[in-house]
Structure 1
Amino acid sequence: MKIRTHYDNLKVSRDAPPEVIRAAYKSLTQKYHPDRNPDPQAAKIMLHLNEAYEVLSDPEKRDNHDKWIRFEEWKAAHRVDPKKNSHSHSHSHSHSHSHSHSHSHKHRPLQISGGKKSR
């Protein structure tokens, strides 16, 4: 499973320099601006473009996003296939597992593809 990132939304590589990110953002926002694009999804796409640019144009936010991507990739690479795992996971534990994650679902950007609905 490939995760969607802000880089995907702006159609740039993960090592893109700031000027490439800025140029991609400007180009895509002109294409998807609701005043210029009659697609009903244009406003939603603009929100994702704005969020992507906000994150990728800020070095600290970009670094955090890159860490999130690496973590998601690591999880995907180390995921155990439940069909191949015959070990039961119904053990009871006396302590609770609390998994806090600093990234919310908003870091899973919407796929932007030529004005068509995607999700």
Structure 2
Amino acid sequence: MSDLGIVIVTWNTRDYLRRCLETVYASQGPLEFSVLVVDNGDDGSAEMVHAEFPQTTVLSGQGNVGYPAGNNLALRRLGYADEPGHTDPAAPRYALLLNPDTELPPTALRDFVAYMDANPEV
């Protein structure tokens, strides 16, 4: 089980997405995470991610499903269930939904997981 599953839903935001992923993968700290990008557009974002960030999973080809459905699609792929009690035990401990124009400070992911660990009521 990884610490964190990061979901980014994009629609024609290739350049923003590139910068977002650069900051995600530059994160500092002992942290195991995976990134899923849901590509709702046709600006070459999926191709850019495959070429520049091969460790990222890209979900594309479903058309523009929108932001909520895109997040749900990725969360299911990570192993989270629609019904309580049915989540895959291998699903990441936490999920983080990022917009493609987000730029993270170097310790943001580590700090996020530490905060969640220290505050289980959140």
Larger Rg: 1
Higher strand share: 2
Higher helix share: 1
Q: Same fold (TM over 0.5)?
A: no
